[in-house]
């Protein structure tokens, strides 16, 4: 028996003000998307913005449903739209922000496991890392250099 340690590294910016202009603009697009989320049940609005290598920015937000499991997270709404619209483009970065309608969310909210799996598919497909930036409504912004860094023991097509 041997022990295997798996490490992830995150970089944390004190606030949006510390981000480069380009990333701050991407986060602003995620905030705009978040403000248009359809989240009447959870009252938890999430927005995501993707920067593609063709310069396009694709956004998405969570879309809930009275049949709860039929809803979709912001990250998957955005990345599936990107995959459907620009199938040949690479995704360079993703900005994510989440805000509760009940209280201020002040710490970075990471993407859920299902969204990590969905984003991982595109990272593997394009064979290049997708930078992930995530934050709450205010406060620090966390950055991961790749999706793989957020999803240890990734399951991908190499297993099939």
Is position 22 annotated as part of the catalytic site? no
Q: Which residue among 19, 26, 39, 141 contacts ligand THU (CB under 6 A)?
A: 39
> ∠109-112-115 over CA atoms, to 5°?
120
Rank residues 30 and 92 by Cβ distance to ligand THU and give the closer one: 30
> ∠38-43-146 over CA atoms, to 5°?
75
By CB under 6 A, tell whether 62 contacts ligand THU. yes
Rank residues 23 and 119 by Cβ distance to ligand THU and give the closer one: 119
Rank residues 1 and 66 by Cβ distance to ligand THU and give the closer one: 66
By CB under 6 A, tell whether 111 contacts ligand THU. yes
Closest residue by Cα to residue 147 from 158, 160, 125 = 125
Q: How far apart are CA 157 and CA 132, in angstroms?
A: 22
Least spacing, CB of residue 78 vs ligand THU, in Å: 10
By CB under 6 A, tell whether 112 contacts ligand THU. yes
Least spacing, CB of residue 128 vs ligand THU, in Å: 22
Q: How far apart are CA 18 and CA 33, in angstroms?
A: 21
Rank residues 54 and 138 by Cβ distance to ligand THU and give the closer one: 138
The answer to whether residues 105 and 140 touch, using CB atoms and an 8 Å cutoff, is no
Closest residue by Cα to residue 48 from 116, 134, 106 = 134
**Active-site option among 64, 75, 123, 131:** 75
Please name the helix (run of DSSP H) or strand (run of DSSP E) that holds residue 60, with its range, or none. strand 57-61
Positions touching ligand THU (CB under 6 A) are 39, 42, 44, 46, 62, 64, 71, 73-75, 111-112, 115
């Amino acid at each position: 028996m041997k022990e295997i340690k798996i490490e992830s590294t995150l970089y944390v910016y004190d606030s949006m003000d510390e981000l480069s202009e380009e990333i701050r603009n991407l986060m602003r697009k995620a905030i705009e998307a978040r403000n248009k989320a359809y989240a009447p049940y959870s009252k938890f609005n999430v927005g995501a913005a993707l920067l593609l290598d063709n310069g396009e920015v694709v956004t998405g937000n969570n879309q809930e449903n009275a049949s709860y499991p039929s809803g979709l997270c912001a990250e998957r709404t955005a990345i599936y739209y990107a995959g459907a619209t620009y199938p040949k483009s690479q995704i360079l970065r993703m900005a994510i922000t989440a805000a509760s309608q009940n209280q201020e969310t002040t710490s970075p909210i990471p993407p859920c496991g299902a969204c990590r799996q969905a984003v991982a598919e595109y990272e593997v497909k394009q064979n290049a890392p997708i930078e992930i930036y995530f934050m709450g409504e205010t406060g620090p912004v966390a950055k991961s250099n790749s999706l793989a860094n957020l999803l240890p023991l990734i399951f991908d097509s190499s297993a099939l």
